Structure 1
């Protein structure tokens, strides 16, 4: 993983319905799916073209008993998983899954000091194109943290991964800040809306037509709770929940046929970092923080 330290390089969906997730994301994002199971673990690879872009597995029964619900988890490449996990503890975070060798590499599932969950990885065994093809269809093109306090979160991740606030001339909300890894802007952070129960990471999947994909979310049994909403740069975004309750987002262009359409949900600009519409998904999109492992 030389040169990728501090970059998101892998993503996994933990769900309660493997077959349903394959069909849903195949329609919405256009991913293919192939089996990559081992004798010890049932595992599916989602792919964009020939390139694997994310993994799919059952939400462990132990996690369900602890109250965990379906979710997406992003993996950040680090030079040493064990050392980084120790640093997270030292900086006030938690380790939920200690450093472990798996079918995708040596990993650890952790949380920052504000309880937002993510994972660490070293030695990714898959020939993924992340982060090189960050802007290609089917890839994760944006990473967003809804934090309890974005300034403290940025300081934490800056010390841990070397992330830095991005200075650009694009107008932004005071509560929303872009961040970069090795000079590449890869996401944004904001202080979460009070109605959002806990801090968390949200991942944006690139799609060709935001309206087409948004319609497929709804027809596939998912929910759009914000958007499509236009953002600086000409893209449109939609924040969604899949049929099993995992939150994700879409980003893409709008076809000429849809340019004049009214967005599915209008949100005041002051609430771009999550809105009062959270009430509408609180029973389906709830987030539960597991207990850390010693």
Structure 2
């Protein structure tokens, strides 16, 4: 692989885009479009805007057919690949599965897959907007608020999962933190950038969790409960002095938050 893959987009699948707009607007400071864009197949898709004018990702409205097919509110990440079809074939050959076959959309070619342990994610070969050829996506940042700052995989087989993502996406794995009886919290990298971590299964099924940057963890925590969300783990200090927490939005999608304590 010539270059390790990055997370280039994040998508919230939800039953209530307007409710999600109110919630994440209050918690994170995002602006989610009031109306869905006209997309292929009539799918309701809305962009997530940041305060600096950039985009943080998108919101896909789950319709009755999607729900009948087993879709549920969830955050999903998109990993870049230069050849979606070849990546799908390689992932399937390595024990993964296809959730949505490769297809072309106006902004590129995408597919949804699961890793061999069952955690879902998208892969994408994007078509850059005119004038932005060669520019990297900025939806992931290790430091900035209103972007995803940390990508965490909870999985039934951390060793196998790390080997899988190394093989297919070129990541590294250096360093870990002892979590006692739970096991090791193992850090993953793209080059010299810390992408996140892989940990033993702590969720009902293997899944990625995405930690969104906020300006003040206590303000954001209060906004979660004030706007109908549920806190599943209270703010805890992390290496470097900031704090992280986990919650579930009013529609049922799990999320993480990370940021400083201002008080």
Give the TM-score normalised by structure 1.
0.80
| Stretch deviating more after TM superposition (118-127 or 151-160) | 118-127
| Alignment of structure 1 residues 199-238 onto 2, 5 Å | 199-238=206-245
User: Is residue 252 from structure 1 mapped to residue 259 from structure 2 by the alignment?
Assistant: yes
Aligned to 1:23: 22
Q: Which residue of 1 aligns with 2:165?
A: 157
Q: Is the 8 A contact 2:238 2:244 kept in 1?
A: yes
**Helix, strand or coil for the counterpart of 2:214?**
strand
- Structure 1 residues 167 and 129: CA distance shift in structure 2, 3 A: same
Q: State the 1:149 CA deviation.
A: 1.2
- Equivalent pairs counted in the alignment come to 250
The match for 1:75 among 64, 75, 78 is 78
Q: Which residue does 1:38 correspond to in 2?
A: 38
User: Is 1:182 the counterpart of 2:185 in the alignment?
Assistant: no
Matches within 5 A, 1:1-294: 5-34=4-33, 35=35, 37-39=37-39, 40-48=42-50, 49-125=52-128, 129-130=137-138, 133-167=141-175, 172-173=178-179, 174-193=183-202, 196-255=203-262, 257=263
Q: CA deviation at 1:130?
A: 1.9
Alpha-carbon shift at residue 114 of structure 1 (Å): 0.3
Contact 2:141 2:147 in 1 (8 A): yes
In structure 2, stretches of 5+ residues that fail to align are none
Deviation at 1:80, TM superposition (A): 0.6
Q: What CA distance in whole angstroms lies between the structure 2 residues aligned with 1:106 and 1:129?
A: 16
Match of 1:289 in 2: none
Q: CA RMSD in A?
A: 2.0
- Measured after TM superposition, the shift of residue 124 of structure 1 is 4.6
1:27–1:103: structure 2 CA closer, same or farther, 3 Å change rule? Answer: farther
Verify the 8 A CA contact 2:4 2:171 in the aligned structure 1. Answer: no
- Cα distance in 2 for partners of 1:4, 1:243 equals 38
- TM-score normalised per structure 2: 0.89
SS at match of 1:213: helix
Q: Which has the higher strand share?
A: 2
